[in-house]
Amino acid sequence: MAGVESIYMTEEELLVLLAGKGKRYWYGIDSREEEEQRNPFKKEDLYRILGDLYQKEYVEWDQNMVKINESIDPMMQVLIEAECCVRAENEKDKRIYYFDSSGIVMMEKSQRENGMLRLTLLEKAEFFISLREAEFLPEDSFEPESEQEIVKQKEEMTEKAFLQLIKMDGEKQLDAMKIMEAGITTFISQESGTTTRVIPYETEWLQKQLSRWMDWTK
């Protein structure tokens, strides 16, 4: 799969870079890991982290200022300006994709280096390829026979979503979709404001909805 070479950093290094750009909240890889930098790093910790980032050539010194290196700036801009994110999880892997109008950053826990995050900048066309390669996209669902069957299966739906799609406005969540299973049926649970809509899963519908969110039709 094409794309720029991946970069590796710790979660605290990422938080420092994001905070330096004014972003103090991000949706983590795990649904229980919404991260907010509520407490500033101690000065000695900050110096250590910046030193590590400098050694990795992710930042550079510009007189008395710390500047993000141009080589990773496009990736950081996507994370900062992200309008939508998608969490994907199965038995083998766990990832989160961040979207803005310029591209996508895929974030996952490194399998090579313990405690490190792996970030990769993707083209828009590579997103669904990535989901398929990692076996995150389910097969299209069987159509339930009746509205009562939808309600019944919704009640049996597992709480754990293997695809969770979130549309954001800064720190505010606007809309969300969860792809969940109940028996042999896969559902899309679509949340907008106080309204929740449950429909059988279709890959084509999901692709169109994401394209509409990201205005990829232009």
- Over residues 184-197, the pLDDT tens digits come to 677 788 777 777 77
Global pTM reads 0.77
What average pLDDT score do residues 84-97 get?
85
Q: State the average pLDDT for the chain.
A: 77
Q: Taking a C-beta distance cutoff of 8 angstroms, is the pair 164, 158 a contact?
A: no
User: What's residue 3's pLDDT?
Assistant: 41
Which one of 55-64, 155-164, 192-201 scores highest in mean pLDDT?
A: 55-64
Distance between CA atoms of 70 and 73, rounded to whole angstroms?
Answer: 5
What pLDDT does 179 receive?
80
> Is the pLDDT assigned to residue 36 strictly greater than 80?
no
Give all strands (DSSP E) within the chain, no chain letters.
7-9, 25-26, 35-36, 59-62, 65-68, 84-89, 94-100, 103-109, 117-122, 163-169, 172-182, 185-192, 195-200
